[in-house]
Amino acid sequence: MGKSQSIGFILIAIIFFAYIIYMQPSKKEMEAIERQRDSIRLEKLKNKEPLEEISKDIDDNQNISSENFVKEEIENKAEILTLENEFLKLGISTIGGKLSLVELKKFKTHDKNPLILLDEQNSQFGLSFFANNQGINTENLLFTKEQIDEKTIRLKKHFDQGYIEYLYHLPNESYMLEFSINLVNMDKVISQNTRAINLNWQTSLKGQEKGRSFENQQTNLYIKHLDDDVDKITKEKTIPTLVKWIGFKQQFFSAVLISDKGFKGVLLNAENIEDENNPYLKNFYAKMSLPYRRNTQKLYEMSFYFGPNHFLTLRKYGKDIDLHRLINLGWGIFGWINRYLVIPIFNFLENNISLTNYGVIILLLTIIIKIILFPLTYKSYVSQAKMRALKPQIDKINERIPKEKMMERQKATMDLYKKTGVSPMGGCLPLFIQFPILIAMFRFFPASIELRQKSFLWAEDLSTYDSIASIPEIPFFGDHISLFCLLMAVTNFIYTHFNMKLTASSSPQMPGMKLMMYMMPIMLLVWFNNYSSGLSYYYFISTLITVLQTLIIRKTIDDKKVLAKIEARKKKPMKKSRFQERLEKMAKERGYKTPKRKK
């Protein structure tokens, strides 16, 4: 070969390789294509189109179909492999190597059917990346079964020079499925300028409970930041920080994907399904970026949690994972009350008294809490008795000092309170302290899976509403009447009437306050008609016990004796506070004389 021919071949080779490099999509172009793919996915979700069509439409739209890899394979019938333990039954399809069935064996739907958390029709899962200027989605690829035993399934998708491996392992007596993705020699397949591959997870969650509207409120998408808090996602959102896990949560069950090292570049979306006749509640979509370096092997270790939203069950998988934060027990002090007071008492009654009737457990829980709060209830009533005893004297002050001198009237009233040692807030403060417990219970009962499908009296399921009659649909109220809710409203009306009579003799009622207090039971009836019957039952029992406590305390407290103690206190010299003594001492040291107190 001559010198000129050699130079010619070298130039041709340089031009050829330059052309290949030039024709490869740049990083920005690949990111633009991925963004368009994601926008198409999200648009499909918004239009409520079937999930199984999304990947096909994305590939058709971009003209990057993985046809070369799947043309012959998709004609084959998929094989469904099974993993099973005491809690879960899992089906894994060789098409996409994905989960095609997740059944929770210990639970049933409200209409007694098997509880299927995920199935092939409502879920998608797979990797997407570029190879040979084509977009590859493993969702459509046929995997081969390399190894299987009772607890482990290994699936592989072979390419020309490398392969993708999915490994599933299901331990005994666990809701946690161990999962890993292993890329072997894929650096020869995946485009050279690839720095990350995408993991796409998409599902529609099916209703499992009787009350669709309430269950829909409790069905949400959650994420746990790697070293931070748990957030609820209600719309399309990109997370710039590392994410420890992504949870598709329903009222009582969750599907959670957990990463050991955290997911990067997470894109999320949650869409509500408005159609009341649709069996599905919401569509959830998550895209995660898995960092990729060009080496012969890359391992991504993860795990799935498929199971109940049971506080102690979630806690046992580690406090660092914080799966228990999926359960909304209330923020701040309300959550603390549930975690450190209500749940321990409830679990003690459930485990140590051998009770199978949860209506009795709720009754005992209510009694215990009312006993704990009794000193505050007693103090509140004593304060009301003191205010009743002082009312004639306050009326004289109001007669003596006209309304025009309001500041003088208030000063005289406060001086009377100070002399008698009576605090006008004494009756309100104990009730204010009890208020967080009422709010905590509002969160505890709807989230308590222990009450799910547990009957009591006429209520078939304490976790949802009880119905004694069906009625035409009423906005905000529903198409039924809940008897426990009705009893709660009636009891609150009686207590309000009883309490108003007691306080009317101790303090004047503000205009409109009396009407508002009587309206409250009616508002509770509307609000709680679709809520957990266990919650209405608790409020009913709690209010009833409060009325009984008040009647008992009233019989033990004599208003005349209370007045006599107040009058005796008035005759005693007023004790100076330490702060007042310090001020007078400082005044004397500076030469000021303390004014003598008028007798």
Q: Does 440 map to a domain?
A: yes
**Mean pLDDT of the region 216-243:** 89
**Rounded Cα gap, residues 363 and 367, in angstroms:** 6
Q: What is the pLDDT of residues 342-365, one digit of tens each?
A: 999 998 888 877 667 899 999 999
Q: Does a structural domain hold residue 128?
A: yes
- Residue 7: inside a domain: no
Same domain (yes/no): 284, 343? no
Asked if residue 201 and residue 95 are part of one domain, the reply reads yes
Domain that residue 465 falls in: 335-571
Instruction: Identify whether the C-beta of residue 462 lies closer than 8 Å to the C-beta of residue 456.
Output: yes
- 196 and 257 share one domain: yes
Q: Is residue 80 part of a domain?
A: yes
Q: What pLDDT was estimated at residue 69?
A: 44
pLDDT of res. 201: 94
Determine which of 152-166, 229-243, 413-427 has the lowest per-residue pLDDT on average: 413-427
pLDDT at residue 221, rounded to an integer: 94
Cα distance between residue 142 and residue 138, in whole Å: 8
Tell me: do 413 and 464 sit in the same domain.
yes
What is the spatial distance between Cα 460 and Cα 483, in angstroms, rounded to a whole number?
12
Would 586 be classed as within a structural domain? no
Q: How far apart are CA 96 and CA 51, in angstroms?
A: 14
Q: Are residues 254 and 344 in the same domain?
A: no
User: What phi and psi, each to the nearest 5 degrees, are found at residue 422?
Assistant: -100, 135
**Which of 1-5, 183-187, 552-556: highest mean pLDDT?**
183-187
Residue 588 has pLDDT above 70, yes or no: no
* Mean model confidence pLDDT for the chain: 79
Most confident of 3-12, 457-466, 568-577, 589-598: 457-466
User: Rounded mean pLDDT of 322-331?
Assistant: 88
Does 169 lie in the same domain as 62?
yes
* pTM: predicted TM-score of the whole model, two decimal places: 0.76
* C-alpha distances out from residue 393 to 370, 528, 556, Å: 34, 43, 24
- Owner of token pair 């003088």: 408
Summarised one tens digit per residue, pLDDT across range 434-472 is 788 888 988 898 889 999 999 999 999 898 888 888 888
Same domain membership, residue 320 and residue 446: no
Domain check: are 266 and 391 in the same one? no
* Greater pLDDT, 164 or 76: 164
Which of 266, 297, 327 is at the close of a domain? 327
Return the pLDDT at 573.
60
Please report, for the domain that includes residue 74, its CATH number: 2.70.98.90
Residue 6 lies in a domain: no
Q: What pLDDT, on a 0 to 100 scale, did the predictor assign at position 292?
A: 87
Instruction: Check: CB of residue 521 under 8 Å from CB of residue 543.
Output: no
pLDDT value, residue 10:
62
Last residue of a domain, one of 327, 349, 372: 327
Q: Write down the pLDDT at residue 54.
A: 37
- Quick check: is 19 in a domain? no
Does 203 score more than 60 pLDDT? Answer: yes
Residue with tokens 């009737």: 357
Q: Which residues contact 575 (CB under 8 A, 6 or more apart)?
A: none
> What does the pLDDT average to over 372-376?
85
User: Of 252, 285, 284, 260, which is closest to residue 178 (Cα–Cα)?
Assistant: 260
> With helix as H, strand as E and coil as C, how does 473-538 read?
EECCCEEEECHHHHHHHHHHHHHHHHHHHHHHCCCCCCCCHHHHHHHHHHHHHHHHCCCCHHHHHH
> Can you tell me the distance from the alpha carbon of 236 to that of 156, in angstroms, rounded to the nearest whole number?
33
Instruction: Report CA-CA distances (Å) from 578 to 79, 164, 584, 593, 595.
Output: 83, 77, 10, 18, 18
User: Looking at the structure, do residues 443 and 342 belong to the same domain, yes or no?
Assistant: yes
CA distance 153 to 146: 8
In the chain, the percentage of residues whose pLDDT exceeds 70 is 77
Question: Per-residue pLDDT averaged across 360-371, rounded?
Answer: 92
The pLDDT confidence band at residue 67, using thresholds 50, 70 and 90, is very low
Please tell me whether residues 369 and 262 are part of one structural domain. Answer: no
Question: What pLDDT is attached to residue 24?
Answer: 54
pLDDT at residue 486, rounded to an integer: 92
List CB contacts of 355: < 8 A, sequence separation 6 or more: 349, 361, 364
580, part of any domain: no
**Cβ–Cβ under 8 Å, residues 272 and 280:** no
Task: Assess contact for 43 and 51: CB atoms under 8 A.
Answer: no
* For residue 51, pLDDT beyond 90: no
Question: Do 261 and 368 have their domain in common?
Answer: no
Tell me, what's the pLDDT at 146?
A: 78
At 33, the pLDDT band (50, 70, 90 cuts) reads low
pLDDT in tens, 101-144: 999 999 999 989 999 999 888 889 999 988 877 888 898 899 99
What residues does 80 pair with on adjacent strands? 93
Residue 46 has pLDDT above 50, yes or no: no
Structural domains of the chain, count: 2
Query: What pLDDT does 383 receive?
Result: 77
CA–CA separation, 419 and 489 (whole Å): 41
Residue 176 sits in the same domain as residue 278: yes
* Final residue belonging to a domain, choices 303, 327, 351: 327
Residue 340 has pLDDT above 80, yes or no: yes
pLDDT tens, 395-431? 788 788 877 777 877 777 777 777 776 766 655 665 6
